[in-house]
Chains A and B, each alone.
Chain A
């Protein structure tokens, strides 16, 4: 299982060193406002704006396309359901809306190392339990994926074949036992991890030293995004003559 490049491009982004809070606030505000837009032309503007931001952040096109393809089925599904209830134009609007939102989230995740993102969330007072859960999930995803990889190789070494179809009973049995074993191992690992955390003074809160702060650069990033979002919303509500 290849999970190696989750953080692949975050390190190289030009926005990497901005305070994660600035990026989270700006992107989430933008997402909320885009969700309120109905006019196709304004949505198109929003989309172009996100693409421009992605270009500024230095997110490689391939990486972007890969992430977008993953979200495409959801965008299409949303568009289809709207198409059957309200027609073509609202469906197109829905498609653009979802695309713009997904792309801005790709911007957030591609310009921020995962750990900084978590620290940002913590500083923004997202409940501890969510942040901790995300942290452990992220870290141990790799460990469990490795474990599953090793188990799969060990199975093959002993002549197992993977289930070819749903009626392949032997194959399915192997898979279900493997899944059970992964669960048991993960549970045991969880217990050992908790012991390890306690032996280093864990009391439920994961403390870190914050390495970022809101400075000029952060405001220079937030301000235009917020301004543009406001502009989009004003246009949507007919507050601007040219819209």
Chain B
């Protein structure tokens, strides 16, 4: 996907996006982050070919996007809307998931197979005949996701995928997306959930009406001024380790997720014979540092992977 110089203005003339250039390769995991009202959804809809730009060019799968091929190109992409109620329109779960594959002109057998697979993958076995308005938000999100899965898209666009989800639904959604990515699906997510960014992407575009910055996740996360000026934040775990650093524990590389933190702690322990030493000092005015506590974590090698 390659976009050059895209712009978008709302009906009332407000400029939503200005001179956006983005280029994403096959199989990449990219996040578009930005504050509320930065134009993330609008950009995602433009990339999905649903809103047309007032300037610039959009190439999808190596072809220039135009009226002529829009349907063909769109059928290779899947867009997961933030509000599943926008997406689910059929009165039965099964039929809603089947909508995309049927539009693609697949025969009955293929449609059934895809719907079955999508429903199972989304953890919705046994939901075929359920009625959408009786489902919980998390279940609706799964149905909407299954509807996108059934299209077997090469490019997956996610609009605030983790918004309003409980921990379990959130975790499941993230792992479903990553499973798809490992099989070659390109994933582009728009979000301000920075914890999700570390789990869903390797590269980040910071968007605030225009692209403010592009870089790999670590690079962007370790630029506090950039994040602050765009109403963004770093994950809590990163904050903790930054705090530990000022207390004297030096993690070579600041971890951005719990997994990375575990890896980091394990490495330190292996290097220093099974211990992580934290020296906590209280600094009193005009005095030298006095050690008040000495904590050690994970003495037992057998436990360190099970934090």
Contacts and interface: CB of A to CB of B under 8 A. Distances in A.
Nearest to A208: B95
Nearest to B95: A208
A139 B90 CA distance: 7
A159 interface: no
B91 A138 contact: yes
A139 B132 contact: yes
A1 to B, nearest CB: 12
Contact of A209 (B89, B108, B147, B148): B108
B86 A189 contact: yes
Nearest to A193: B86
Contacts of B87: 193, 196
Interface residues of B, number: 36
Given A189-B86, A206-B99, A201 B81 contact: no
Contact of B86 (A192, A201, A202, A206): A192
Interface residues of A, number: 29
Contacts of B102: 207-209
Contacts of A146: 133
B34 interface: no
Contacts of B75: 201
Nearest to B75: A201
A202 B103 contact: yes
B92 interface: yes
Contacts of A198: 50, 74
Would you call the interface of chain B mostly helix, strand, loop, or mixed? helix
Interface string A133-162: 001101110110010000000000000000
A20 B74 CA distance: 34
A193 B86 CA distance: 5
Contacts of B147: 200
Contact of B100 (A195, A200, A203): A200
B89 A136 contact: yes
Would you call the interface of chain A mostly helix, strand, loop, or mixed? helix
A198 B45 CA distance: 11
A85 interface: no
Interface string A199-215: 11111001111000000
B196 interface: no
A209 B128 CA distance: 14
Contacts of B104: 201
A209 B112 contact: yes
A205 B87 CA distance: 16
B240 interface: no
A140 B102 CA distance: 22
A210 to B, nearest CB: 9
Contacts of A140: 89
A7 interface: yes
A179 interface: no
Contacts of B74: 198-199, 201
Interface string B67-95: 00001001101110101011111111001
Contacts of A203: 71, 103
B111 interface: yes
Contacts of A74: none
Residue of A113, A136, A209 ringed by the most chain B CB atoms within 10 A: A209
Interface string A207-241: 11100000000000000000000000000000000
B48 interface: yes
B110 to A, nearest CB: 11
Nearest to B133: A142
A192 B98 CA distance: 20
B89 A201 contact: no
Nearest to B82: A192
Interface of A: 4, 7, 113-115, 135-136, 138-140, 142-143, 146, 189, 192-193, 195-203, 206-209
23 contacts: A4-B134, A115-B91, A136-B89, A140-B89, A143-B85, A143-B133, A146-B133, A192-B81, A193-B89, A195-B45, A195-B86, A196-B79, A196-B81, A196-B86, A197-B89, A199-B48, A199-B50, A199-B78, A201-B74, A202-B99, A206-B99, A207-B103, A208-B98
Given A7-B131, A209-B111, 4 more contacts: A115-B95, A192-B86, A207-B99, A209-B108
